Structure 1
Amino acid sequence: MNPTTGKTDTIRAIGIRCAAPAVALALILTGCGSDGDPQTSSSTIGAVNDINPKDASEIRDGGNLRLTLTSFPASFNAHHVDSDGELSDLVAWAMPGTVTSNAAGELSVDRNYFTDVQLTSTNPQQITYTINPKAVWSDGSPITWEDLKTQANALSGRNPEFLVSATQGYSRVDKVERGVDDRQAVVTFGKHYAEWQGLFNPLYPKASMETPQAFNDVDRNSLLVSSGPFMVTSIDKAQQRIVLGRNPKWWGDTPKLDTVTYSVLDYSARINALQNNELDFATVSGIDEVKTATNAPGIKVRRAPGVRFSHFTFNGAPGSILEDPKLRVAISKAIDRQGIATATQNGVVENPKPLNNHIFMEGQKGYQDNAAAVAYNPEQAAKELDELGWKLNGDVREKDGRKLEIRDVMYQQDSWVQMAQIAQQNLAKVGVKLTIQTVPGNGLFTNVVDPGNFDIVQFTWSGGTLPLGALPQIYAYDPALPQSNKGKIGTPELNALIEEVISELDPQKAIELANKADRMIFEEGFSLPIVQSAGAVAVRDNLANFGAPGLASYDYTKVGFVK
């Protein structure tokens, strides 16, 4: 599940809910003194997108699209544990996938890369992938069945030396065989996999996947080869800048843009950069930031509820202060999520409210409120803390000589801090001291989150049209292969239920089982979803076919500036 959507969500999250976390869902509360009156938008996903749709004939040839990152990629391998959702957004311009999605989340085969993707058998489950005969890597070599075979093996989890972010789906693949020719792959599963359509999004070449060393290092500093309409053409780590240019081996429609430039930029600098015509796109949130963008000349605020959500994830690893699930649940009950939703989204969405599901976004088929176990109830929270032996001693509770002081870590950004401050005030009322610690974007996950150097951590997950893959990736727990389970929390019972969900080929039954698992996740005190992204973005007003896509995929060949 992580930052902008389009093929990012198609590429990473369409099948799994993007494996890597995003740090860029900012909920800005600071004032700007604007007099504008921006419109509010619905918080329900799946109905619309807002990308200024234009026919290719209306878009000028050429131009440079200027985008931002909050940190320089730790790896350009989107399947590596060090990658994040921002990297997924970047490689979406340059790497192949199997399916695309419309605004309603309905899937279709991405015919740039595959002429057909079919479930050809259910016993055993078998998928036949027929590769577009024109599809080649940027070095001129054809995309073949061996690329799929090598990726399936690397992401299977069978060899822990492949430092993968997730194994969902691939761990169930029994074999990948050559079909009628090198341009067809037949994938046979040893166990059923419900969200088979999400596999190979994105697809990497055999050379990047064939050994642990290749997987971990070949794409560490750039993409070895690409296969999209764009490819990485220059990287300047000193200037924190990455440029993508047209791929000369691309066989599809000629892209409208000449280049796409990503620059690492502090989140707080985005709006000024947009106003100064140094940037063409930025996420905006909080009424004041939306007002600023609304009143900026040449800027348009576009809206479509996003597939990202902010959350507080707890560290339940052995020896941590929050190891006890009952303690995590009690603390959860003391945090006013509605208060955070109102403070951060009032005036931006019609009816701000917290997200009450870890798997489905509001408006998505399957969404229901499963958060009863952590409903805001500070009196009950205080009672449960007493029963657990955490007794008030002055302003802060203690147990066995240890104070109930917990450290909340987040990206160094005012919006995250202000969300934490609301929780800090809530928890202080029940005798829990919350210390707020901010860290830079560079190294946040590799140096802080992945090693478990937190009691609570705040970041965002990105969802997608096939969200069930989030369950084994994030919420199942195997100490030998934690994947994206940042809090090291889980139970054998939850693991078994997740196995049921992922093995269910009946979509309605899978949804019912997923919601049962979600209730268990809340009862375990795994994490607290806070709010679903309002999906507001500020863009150059002449930018077309790019903006707030909701569940839809981008067609990167049609992104550009109107004539």
Structure 2
Amino acid sequence: MRIRSMTTRLVIPLMAVALVATGCGGDDADAPEGSAAALGTTNDINPKDVSELRDGGNLRLSLSALPQNWNNLHTDGNEGNTLALSRPMLPRSFKTDAAANLSVYTDYFTAVELTNTEPQQVTYTINPKAVWSDGTPITWEDIQSQANALSGADKAFLIANNIGFDRVEKVERGVDDKQAIITFKKHYADWRGQFAGNSFLYPKSVTATPEAFNKSQVDGITLTAGPFLVQSLDRGQGRVVLGHNPKWWGAKPKLDTITFSVLAAEATIPALQNNEIDATGLASRDELKTARNTPGIAIRRAPGNQWNHLTFNGAPGSPLADPKLRVAIQKAIDRQGIATAMQNGLVQDPKPLNNHVYLQGQQGYQDNSLPFDPAAAAKELDELGWKLNGDVREKDGKKLEIRDVMYNQDVWVQIAQIIQQNLAAVGVKLNIETKAGSGFFTKEIQPGNFDVGQWTWLGDPFPLSSLNQIYGYNPDDVQGNYGRIGSQELNDLIEQTISELDPKKAIELANKVDRKVFEEGHSLPLMQSHGNVAVRDNLANYGAAGLASLDYTKIGFLK
């Protein structure tokens, strides 16, 4: 499941936090050692045995805004701030190591198995000790309720992604209340990710009705089931404190609390210097230098599964409704030039991301992109009737002028300025519009208030689960396809891909999907996270996690 983020500043578990760099020029001599490593091969979290950690302590992290909805399955909660807060508090079925190898999250489930293929059946056996924070047992009914909510059968549930539950025929009780058997009516390739990665299991009280699903978590999260729960929430100060869950049945956390504070992007490095937070992503060479020169700070790095992109608005009546126009414009954007300008000095060999489905280093990654070709772009614009009139092209008396909408942060603006120059060279005028972090998705992106939108996708080891969410075109069920672009041909190809239980065949089909996404001018991937994170040097088992899950019971400060 893909989670969206408007900013590079989130310290998000499972992935490196920094995405792009401000500043241009220079060489890569200052790039951190190991920055040529591939995603899925390493992480950098200062691993230590818990015996080396002191009891107690407060881990201080930052957010760009408080969640609009604390239910990350809801369309308003499908963003990085919600994810960061939820990971220490909610159940998942699988965890991953640095190489993205999966293992059952035994605190919550003793077994998760594909027990039949015709029909496909998956059996979840819940840990007998697992309870919600009010002491209520976690049971098969929680799984059944969530499957029903995400099925898409009732459009009143405002879901961000169906995560394959539209393919589920039924969920039944197994040998007892602690076992659920999911039977699929159609095969689902990414079945392991339905309660894993960026997707959590919620109590049935949250998923039983549309009213509860849509509104019960708006003001804050209710029942949880992790080592931590919300101890306090101060909206005025923009601060959330997580404390120990007294009903937690697993290993006792080393930390006493985790504090999340809402900070503007430009405030995170000063907060780190002033010992107000303990970790932050580094978005520029200047920030990297500042962090290196700050006493008590270490630089952690592992390539992350966070990537930024441009989404085009192709809704009927929009300026970019014509796919040929979108493709022509995309061919005029120099993605290698952007990567070089923004990431030089932060990675050893900056490269653009050339795939919508897989990240560099993931099995399945290949370059399916269209070439940077401004001459072809100009020719295609001419053929479409957009003729130069001075500096800007016109057609039927209308100028080729588009709005690029983004979170108000320097890195996004500088990327937009490079794109602005690229497009000006072929007679397209790009206007840059910056927006506040609070309500960025609910007020701007979800309603389609953009011609081109910039934000970050936060992925997980289950990329196929996001294909329909983002690239499927279902006019009555937008989910994450905010540009409202697609075709029946692409829908059919997505359906074929997510129905394929053979992993190798699924990868081949997913790359066909990716190529078709490029050809429809849906969106344009720019860069993958470079993964530089500044962390207190005495903080262990936390930092640049790569594809690995973090264990919140083992994060802590050295003795």
Q: Report if the CA contact (8 A) 1:23-1:411 is conserved.
A: no
Residue by residue over 1:112-170, the C-alpha shift from the partner in whole angstroms, topping out at 9 and shown as x without a partner, is: 00000000000000000000000000000000000000000001111111011011211
Instruction: Decide which of 545, 548, 558 is 2:544's aligned counterpart.
Output: 548
Q: Output the amino acid matched with 1:118.
A: E
Q: Report if the CA contact (8 A) 1:71-1:442 is conserved.
A: yes
Alignment match, 2:47: 53
Instruction: Decide which of 274, 291, 294 is 1:293's aligned counterpart.
Output: 291
Q: Output the amino acid matched with 1:127.
A: V
Instruction: Decide which of 57, 60, 82 is 1:63's aligned counterpart.
Output: 57
With 82-91 and 494-503 compared, the bigger mean Cα shift is at 82-91
Residue by residue over 1:497-524, the C-alpha shift from the partner in whole angstroms, topping out at 9 and shown as x without a partner, is: 0000000000000000000110000000
Instruction: Decide which of 447, 452, 455 is 1:459's aligned counterpart.
Output: 455
Instruction: Decide which of 52, 70, 74 is 1:76's aligned counterpart.
Output: 70
Counterpart of 2:89 in 1: which secondary structure?
Answer: coil
Q: Output the amino acid matched with 1:351.
A: D
Q: Report if the CA contact (8 A) 1:6-1:551 is conserved.
A: no
Alignment match, 1:525: 521
Give percent identity, aligned residues only: 61
Residues 251, 226 of structure 1: alpha-carbon distance in 2 compared, 3 angstrom cutoff: same
With 36-45 and 394-403 compared, the bigger mean Cα shift is at 36-45
Residues 286, 554 of structure 1: alpha-carbon distance in 2 compared, 3 angstrom cutoff: same
Alignment match, 1:329: 327
Looking at structure 2, the residues matched to 413 and 434 of structure 1 have their Cα atoms a distance apart, in angstroms, of: 18
Looking at structure 2, the residues matched to 352 and 286 of structure 1 have their Cα atoms a distance apart, in angstroms, of: 13
Looking at structure 1, the residues matched to 301 and 221 of structure 2 have their Cα atoms a distance apart, in angstroms, of: 32
Alignment match, 1:224: 222
Alignment match, 1:361: 359
- Asked whether 1:405 is paired with 2:408, we answer no
Counterpart of 1:485 in 2: which secondary structure?
Answer: coil
With 291-300 and 471-480 compared, the bigger mean Cα shift is at 291-300
Counterpart of 2:290 in 1: which secondary structure?
Answer: helix
Looking at structure 2, the residues matched to 460 and 36 of structure 1 have their Cα atoms a distance apart, in angstroms, of: 25
Residues 214, 24 of structure 1: alpha-carbon distance in 2 compared, 3 angstrom cutoff: farther
Q: Output the amino acid matched with 1:177.
A: E
Q: Where do 5+ consecutive residues of structure 1 fail to align? A: 10-21
Counterpart of 2:152 in 1: which secondary structure?
Answer: coil
Deviation at 1:40, TM superposition (A): 6.1
Looking at structure 2, the residues matched to 115 and 71 of structure 1 have their Cα atoms a distance apart, in angstroms, of: 36
Instruction: Decide which of 486, 504, 519 is 2:500's aligned counterpart.
Output: 504
Alignment match, 1:157: 152
Looking at structure 2, the residues matched to 495 and 302 of structure 1 have their Cα atoms a distance apart, in angstroms, of: 40
Residues 487, 24 of structure 1: alpha-carbon distance in 2 compared, 3 angstrom cutoff: farther
Q: Report if the CA contact (8 A) 1:7-1:100 is conserved.
A: no
Deviation at 1:24, TM superposition (A): 7.3
Looking at structure 2, the residues matched to 290 and 345 of structure 1 have their Cα atoms a distance apart, in angstroms, of: 12
Q: Report if the CA contact (8 A) 1:477-1:491 is conserved.
A: yes
Looking at structure 2, the residues matched to 317 and 558 of structure 1 have their Cα atoms a distance apart, in angstroms, of: 47
Looking at structure 1, the residues matched to 547 and 288 of structure 2 have their Cα atoms a distance apart, in angstroms, of: 22
Looking at structure 2, the residues matched to 443 and 162 of structure 1 have their Cα atoms a distance apart, in angstroms, of: 20
Residues 40, 58 of structure 1: alpha-carbon distance in 2 compared, 3 angstrom cutoff: closer
Instruction: Decide which of 419, 423, 428 is 2:424's aligned counterpart.
Output: 428
Alignment match, 1:27: 21
Q: Output the amino acid matched with 1:455.
A: D
Q: Output the amino acid matched with 1:336.
A: D
Looking at structure 2, the residues matched to 5 and 198 of structure 1 have their Cα atoms a distance apart, in angstroms, of: 22
Alignment match, 2:281: 283
Counterpart of 2:441 in 1: which secondary structure?
Answer: helix
Residues 108, 91 of structure 1: alpha-carbon distance in 2 compared, 3 angstrom cutoff: same
Alignment match, 2:480: 484
Q: 1:221-370 to 2 correspondence within 5 Å?
A: 221-370=219-368
Residues 24, 362 of structure 1: alpha-carbon distance in 2 compared, 3 angstrom cutoff: closer
Alignment match, 1:195: 190
Q: Report if the CA contact (8 A) 1:40-1:347 is conserved.
A: no
Deviation at 1:38, TM superposition (A): 4.6
Looking at structure 2, the residues matched to 519 and 315 of structure 1 have their Cα atoms a distance apart, in angstroms, of: 19
Q: Report if the CA contact (8 A) 1:405-1:434 is conserved.
A: yes
Instruction: Decide which of 377, 384, 396 is 1:381's aligned counterpart.
Output: 377
Q: Output the amino acid matched with 2:321.
A: E
Residues 5, 156 of structure 1: alpha-carbon distance in 2 compared, 3 angstrom cutoff: farther
Deviation at 1:44, TM superposition (A): 2.0
Counterpart of 1:52 in 2: which secondary structure?
Answer: coil
Residue by residue over 1:358-391, the C-alpha shift from the partner in whole angstroms, topping out at 9 and shown as x without a partner, is: 00001110000000x3x11111110000000000
Aligned-residue Cα RMSD (Å) equals 1.7
Looking at structure 1, the residues matched to 491 and 257 of structure 2 have their Cα atoms a distance apart, in angstroms, of: 45
Residue by residue over 1:458-501, the C-alpha shift from the partner in whole angstroms, topping out at 9 and shown as x without a partner, is: 00111221111121110001000010001000000000000000
Deviation at 1:86, TM superposition (A): 2.1
Deviation at 1:295, TM superposition (A): 1.5
Alignment match, 1:131: 126
Q: Report if the CA contact (8 A) 1:310-1:531 is conserved.
A: yes
Residue by residue over 1:417-459, the C-alpha shift from the partner in whole angstroms, topping out at 9 and shown as x without a partner, is: 0000000001001000000000010000000000000000000
Deviation at 1:289, TM superposition (A): 1.6
Q: Output the amino acid matched with 1:497.
A: L
Looking at structure 2, the residues matched to 325 and 24 of structure 1 have their Cα atoms a distance apart, in angstroms, of: 32
Counterpart of 1:392 in 2: which secondary structure?
Answer: strand
Deviation at 1:530, TM superposition (A): 0.2
Looking at structure 2, the residues matched to 261 and 140 of structure 1 have their Cα atoms a distance apart, in angstroms, of: 24
Instruction: Decide which of 132, 135, 148 is 1:140's aligned counterpart.
Output: 135
Residue by residue over 1:166-198, the C-alpha shift from the partner in whole angstroms, topping out at 9 and shown as x without a partner, is: 112111111000000000000000100001001
Instruction: Decide which of 167, 170, 174 is 2:165's aligned counterpart.
Output: 170
Counterpart of 1:397 in 2: which secondary structure?
Answer: strand
Looking at structure 2, the residues matched to 254 and 134 of structure 1 have their Cα atoms a distance apart, in angstroms, of: 15
Deviation at 1:27, TM superposition (A): 2.8
Looking at structure 2, the residues matched to 367 and 24 of structure 1 have their Cα atoms a distance apart, in angstroms, of: 21
Deviation at 1:62, TM superposition (A): 0.6
Counterpart of 1:182 in 2: which secondary structure?
Answer: coil
Deviation at 1:30, TM superposition (A): 8.2
Residues 125, 55 of structure 1: alpha-carbon distance in 2 compared, 3 angstrom cutoff: same
Looking at structure 2, the residues matched to 26 and 271 of structure 1 have their Cα atoms a distance apart, in angstroms, of: 15
Counterpart of 2:283 in 1: which secondary structure?
Answer: coil
Residue by residue over 1:383-414, the C-alpha shift from the partner in whole angstroms, topping out at 9 and shown as x without a partner, is: 00000000001100001111000000000001
Q: Output the amino acid matched with 1:325.
A: P
Q: Output the amino acid matched with 1:505.
A: L
Looking at structure 1, the residues matched to 551 and 213 of structure 2 have their Cα atoms a distance apart, in angstroms, of: 28
TM-score (ref. length: structure 2): 0.96
Q: Report if the CA contact (8 A) 1:228-1:250 is conserved.
A: yes
Looking at structure 2, the residues matched to 6 and 74 of structure 1 have their Cα atoms a distance apart, in angstroms, of: 17
Looking at structure 2, the residues matched to 281 and 479 of structure 1 have their Cα atoms a distance apart, in angstroms, of: 41
Looking at structure 1, the residues matched to 31 and 129 of structure 2 have their Cα atoms a distance apart, in angstroms, of: 50
Q: Output the amino acid matched with 2:232.
A: S
With 219-228 and 202-211 compared, the bigger mean Cα shift is at 219-228
Residues 23, 454 of structure 1: alpha-carbon distance in 2 compared, 3 angstrom cutoff: farther
Q: Output the amino acid matched with 1:53.
A: P
